[in-house]
Amino acid sequence: MTNTIQHIKTLFYQDENSNLVQRVFWNSLYIAFFLLPIDINYPTPFFAVAIVSGGINIFKGDKQYLSENKILLLFPLYFLMLLLSMFYTENVSDGWYLIQRSLTLLLFPIIFLFVKEDGLSVRKLFDFLLYGLIVSFLINLLMVLYDVFLFLGNIPPNSSFFDYVKQGWDFFMHVQFSSLVNPGYISLYILLVLSYYLKKELNTIFRLLTVIVLFVYLFLLATESAYFTLFIMALLLLLKVKDKVRRNLLILVLVLGTLVFLSNPRIIDLNSNLNARGLKEVSVNNPTISESLRLLSWKASIKAINEAPLLGYGVGDAHEVLVQKYKQLGYNENYEHRYNAHNQFLETWLQMGVVGVFALMLIFTFLAYSMRRSYNEFSVFLALFIALLFESMLVRFNGIVFFSIIVPLLLKKRSILSSRIIRNE
């Protein structure tokens, strides 16, 4: 028991030279990152504690970090432009609601200007996110298996064992797998953790099993943008391999893996087969938007942007303008579900105009430049950038808070995945 407690303690922030405020800050972030893939509400109090303790640390922090990392001030600038758009928005209540959720874009980058961090403390963020992903996978798996059990109870008792297995498997492969957190966010977390862990050798059973679980989780989430990102990341990793035999083997694995992922029934629309068996009452749709509907969202967003390209519509009115554009264009399903732009750059343009999207592009331009040093680091940039191309990440708390912590840490002088930090192990 004592050894277990000691092991748990070592997982948290243990820098003997740090003060209590620093320890509270980092340990609150660790717990929040652990809870982030499990539920959208659980991590919020811990992020709040991290903000308070990090704010206190501003007055105690080393001012040299400010001069070294002025690039992080782009985030407060982005938030300021979001705030200024309130002056020309009519739906003030919705605007303030998004402003409140976006406060972390202002607070965390400023905190990281003064907070001292080292390779070990930052790496632990990934460790806790990994632990949270594993727990999230198990919770979702148990929930889906329970749904399968209830479904099998409705099958006629005179059915054969083969019918039970076949219908149960069909149900399992079509039922929503992540009901607690949007699959797009979970997929992004998995891709970033994979980028981090695949830089290390899979020389232990734990690391190998961890990577396998993450790949299975990503497969079951069936997020098409994540599949595309994973394929690009795999190609980048292949470029690192110099040995011809090993490269050919990995190419074979990549081709086979791609075929497996693309044949996922959650991606291929088989709802008609389920409905033919009388399963219409079951919610078996992947909660992520289809690619055809996403294209309609982009098309409507561009048409709306063309009518107000300079300033946009303000943070409070942008979504309603887009919804009305769906109605005007006859995009009925997008209108009924009130879909957002499903592209953060288009979303930002709708909210703040060309100046806002320029600030967002500037952040990612600096990020691409700072992470050009290796394929692993650049794959992290790609995961984040492609996620913003396919989702409006900065309209939900999970996306906002993750973006406001991970990207500033990547932009700091010592990147999370830089070789200097990895050598600190």
Q: Which residue has the higher pLDDT, 175 or 286?
A: 175
**Residues 196 and 252 grouped into a single domain:** yes
Enter the pTM of the model.
0.84
Confidence of residue 133 (pLDDT cuts 50, 70, 90): very high
| 209 and 314, same domain (yes or no) | no
Q: Are residues 262 and 128 in the same domain?
A: yes
Identify whether residues 319 and 401 lie together within a single domain. Answer: yes
Of the listed ranges 96-105, 251-260, 325-334, 415-424, the least confidently predicted one is 415-424
Residue 281 lies in a domain: no
**In this structure, are residues 99 and 83 in contact, taking their beta carbons and an 8 Å threshold?**
yes
**CA-to-CA distance for 289 and 287, rounded, in angstroms?**
6
Alpha carbon separation from 244 to 238, 251, 304 (Å, rounded): 11, 10, 51
Predicted pLDDT at 195: 78
Residues 253 and 136 in one domain: yes
Can you tell me the mean pLDDT for 149-169? 82
Q: Kindly state whether residue 255 falls inside one of the protein's structural domains.
A: yes
Across 68-82, 156-170, 298-312, least confident range: 156-170
pLDDT, tens digit, 9 for 90 and up, residues 352-389:
999 999 999 999 998 888 887 777 778 888 888 988 99
Helix, coil or strand: residue 424 = coil
- Considering the domain boundaries, does residue 155 fall inside one? yes
With respect to residue 210, please indicate whether it lies within any of the assigned structural domains.
yes
* Residues spanned by the domain of 326: 63-108+295-425
Q: Which H or E element spans position 58? A: helix 44-58
Maximum CA extent, the chain: 75
Q: For the chain, what is the domain count?
A: 2
Domain check: are 130 and 247 in the same one? Answer: yes
Would 3 be classed as within a structural domain? Answer: no
| Pairwise pLDDT comparison (64 vs 270), residue with the higher score | 64
Domain end point (choices 249, 276, 303): 276
The tens digit of pLDDT for each residue in 243-260 reads 777 777 777 777 877 787
Q: What is the CA radius of gyration of the chain?
A: 23
Domain identity same for 269 and 216 = yes
pLDDT on residue 95: 87
pLDDT > 70 in the chain, percent:
83
Side-chain half-sphere CA neighbours of 124 within 13 A:
20
Query: What confidence score (pLDDT) does residue 47 get?
Result: 92
44 inside domain: no
**162: which residues sit within 8 A by CB, 6+ positions away?**
none
Taking residues 180-206, report their average pLDDT.
79
Task: Check residues 190 and 207 and name the one with the higher pLDDT.
Answer: 190
Closest CA to 129 of 199, 51, 38: 38
Tell me: do 272 and 128 sit in the same domain: yes
- Kindly state whether residues 75 and 193 are assigned to the same domain: no
Indicate whether 147 belongs to any domain: yes
3-state helix, strand, coil in the chain (%, to 5): 70, 0, 30
Q: What is the DSSP letter of 278?
A: T
Same domain? 100 vs 69: yes
Highest mean pLDDT among 44-53, 106-115, 232-241, 391-400: 44-53
Is-contact 236 378, C-beta < 8 A?
A: yes
Span 257-283, pLDDT tens digits: 778 787 777 776 533 334 433 443 344
pLDDT above 90 coverage of the chain, percent: 26
Chain mean pLDDT for the chain: 80
The answer to the question of residue 20 being in a domain is no
Residue 304 contacts residue 322 (beta carbons within 8 Å): yes
Predicted confidence band at 33 (pLDDT cuts at 50, 70, 90)? Answer: very high
Same domain, 83 and 197: no
Which band of pLDDT confidence, cut at 50, 70 and 90, is reported for residue 122? confident
CA neighbor of 197 nearest in space, from 130, 247, 117, 128: 130
- Domain end (from 247, 276, 305): 276
Which residue type occupies 283?
S
Greater confidence (341 vs 286) lies with 341
Whether residue 313 sits in one domain with residue 187: no
The set of residues, in sequence order, having a beta carbon less than 8 Å from that of 71 and lying 6+ positions away, is: 366, 411
Position 41 scores a pLDDT of: 83
Q: Does the pLDDT value for residue 135 go beyond 60?
A: yes
Last residue of a domain, one of 218, 248, 276: 276
Neighbours of 89 (CB within 10 A): 19
Closest CA to 411 of 30, 69, 50: 69
